Amino acid sequence: MAIETISYQTGNKTFLGKLIYDDSVKTPRPLMLMAPNWCGVSPEAIERTQKMVGSRYIGFVADMYGDGTAVAGPPEAASLADGVRADPAERRRRIVAAFDTLIAEAQRRGIGDLKRKAAVGFCFGGGNVLELARAGADVQAVISLHGDLITPRPAKPGDIKGAVLIAHGSKDPAVPKEQRDQVEAELDAAQAKWQMLVFGGLLHSFCESEANMPGIAEYNAPAARQSYAMIDRFINDAFEGRL
C-alpha cells in the first residue's frame, strides 16, 4: 500500500495530506476523500483510510490544520478544531482544496476514475465533508459519521450535487438531536438527496476504536461494523445512480 505525503496550498498556508492507494493495482479506481476527526492527520486516520481504501479506491487524508498537524486529543485538538469552525469560509476552502488535490494527484498518476468520487468524514471531519457538499463539489457520495452537522452557511437549492448519508448516535452529547433536526430541515430545503441512520443509545465517535471518553465518546463494535459496510454500499449505489 502506497502512502505519499502531498503538499498543497490554499491562501498562504501549506497543507500536507496523505495519498493512499494499492500500488499493485493498475486499473483506475474511484476517489475517496477522508476527512479525519479533530486529531488531524494522525496515525489512526492514516490506518483507517488504508482499511477503507483497500484495493477499491484512491484515498486522500485531508489536512485541515496545515503542515500535516496531528495531535493526541483534547484540549489541543478542541482548540484547533474550534479555530477552523470559527471561520466557515476558510473551513470550506480547506476541504475543497483537499478534494481538488486528490483529483489532481490521481489524474497525474493515471490511477483515478475521475467520474466517481466520494467523501467520508469522522466527527469534526464529518462536518468538513458536509461543508464540501454545501460548497457544490462534484462528488457523488458524502458520508458523515458522528459528525458536526450544522453550519452558519446552509446549502441552497441546487448546491448539493451528491447523495448524503449521515450516521449518528441518538445520545451524542457533542451534536444533540436539535442539531439533527436542523440539518434535516436544511437538506430538505436544499432539495438534497439524503439519508440519516440514528443508532439508538450510542454516543459520539462510535466508529473509532480509539474513542474512550466515558459518557461522551465511546467505540461500539457492532455499530462500527455496520457503518463501514454501509459506506461501501452507499457509495456504490450513488455511483450507479441507484439512490
Q: In angstroms, rounded to a whole number, what is the distance separating the alpha carbons of residues 69 and 17?
A: 10
In this predicted structure, what is the pLDDT of residue 53? 98
For the whole model, what pTM was predicted? 0.97
Count the residues in the chain: 243
The most distant pair of C-alpha atoms in the chain lies apart, rounded to whole Å, by 46
- Residue 81's pLDDT is 98
8 Å CB contact between 115 and 32: no
Looking at residue 57, its pLDDT comes to: 98
Low-confidence ranges of the chain (pLDDT < 50): none
pLDDT for res 166: 98
- Give residue 76's pLDDT: 96
Q: Say what the pLDDT of residue 23 is.
A: 96
Tell me what pLDDT residue 147 has.
98
Q: What is the pLDDT of residue 237?
A: 98
Q: Indicate if the alpha-carbon torsion angle 155, 120, 28, 105 is positive or negative.
A: positive
Residue 237 CA to its chain's centroid (Å): 18
Which DSSP helix (H) or strand (E) runs through 29? strand 29-35
Q: What pLDDT was estimated at residue 219?
A: 98
Tell which residue, 222, 214, 210, has the closest CA to residue 173.
214
State the pLDDT at residue 78: 96
**Domains in the chain, ordered, with CATH?**
2-238 (3.40.50.1820)
DSSP letters for 182-207: HHHHHHHHTT--EEEEEETT--BTTT
Cα dihedral sign for 81, 86, 91, 93?
Answer: negative
Listed residue (135, 45, 147) closest to 90, CA to CA: 135
| pLDDT score, position 20 | 98
Number of H helices, E strands in the chain: 6, 10
- Which cell is 164 given? 448524503
Task: Report pLDDT digits (tens) over 146-187.
Answer: 999 999 999 999 999 999 999 999 999 999 999 999 999 999
